[in-house]
Structure 1
Amino acid sequence: MTATDTWAFETTRGSVLVGPSELRFRHGVTGALAGSFAALAAGRLPPVVRHGGWPGLALVTALATVAMEWAWSDGVTVQLVLGLLGVVAVFSGSLVSAIRLGADAIPLRTVEHATFEDGTITVAHRTDDDLTERTIRPRNDAERADAALALRLRGVTLRGIADDEAVSRTVVDAPKTELVV
């Protein structure tokens, strides 16, 4: 737990922060890229592009500048090299910015339960009148155990933890509680 009363556990696509009022999903670079490829395969606009904002506009401008310099020059020039370095810098900044802005959250008051099964955690939560599920894949058994403890302490009903060897008996037998700040 941190000074802001937040627990965190690492997943295969980033990390999950379990705060007093929400589950916040932070995506790492690999998670953002995997999500982008999945969105493109489904025919949707990748989240990285949607959350690009000003850094994304700077990237497009830098790419256009390099393309024009390349088309009008006879070979490798100083301007072309500097332009390519600018593209790399802007691309890196755009990616980091899009990943940060692309974090999403689930309010804890909407979470119905979390099911632990086959090394994954499925969080069922209400969106409007529908029950939506989100699958989380912790990196290892220790992270799965941390997730169970954090979710239990935030009052989430846990299913399937009685047979999970990674989750300690303390978490399994603990009553459903809520953190008092």
Structure 2
Amino acid sequence: MKIKLIQSDITTLRVDAIVNAANSSLLGGSGVDGAIHRKGGPAILEACQEIRATQGKCNVGEAVITTAGDLPAQYVIHTVGPVWNQGGKEKEELLKNCYKNSMHLAIENKVKTIAFPCISTGIYKFPKELAATIAIETIKNYKNQTIIEEVIFVCFTHEDYAIYDRIVNNEN
């Protein structure tokens, strides 16, 4: 499994699955969540509404999978990151679960390429360095699985890209 880092808009990527930093309602929001819902069209919202009708909201750390609608990806994996507030180990575990549960859904659905945004670092205020470290370490734990061929960390801003780049290059 190859790990790649790019600075881009996740909604433009031709990959099997993109991950959405969703809120627990699954009904769209701001940031990457809003962009995915806007650009993906009504099919994503309809799929999310069906999930809500069956299971209710999506809890923090959990993930669900839907169509990608009008996006160039095949699937959107929606995961709900933790709000930092005062932080702590519990928040770190919940963020780690976002990546684990997204990877499990990707493997179950035979996804070969998956792209992750920076989860919880926007309005949820998770410290960016810590979030990037958790993301990279958690994904590296999947290096021996045989389904996913490429994981792409998609940073929207140069600041996020620089943080991920430093962490990736310090660990290699």
The alignment's TM-score, normalised by the length of structure 2, stands at 0.32
Higher relative contact order (CA 8 A, sep 6+): 2
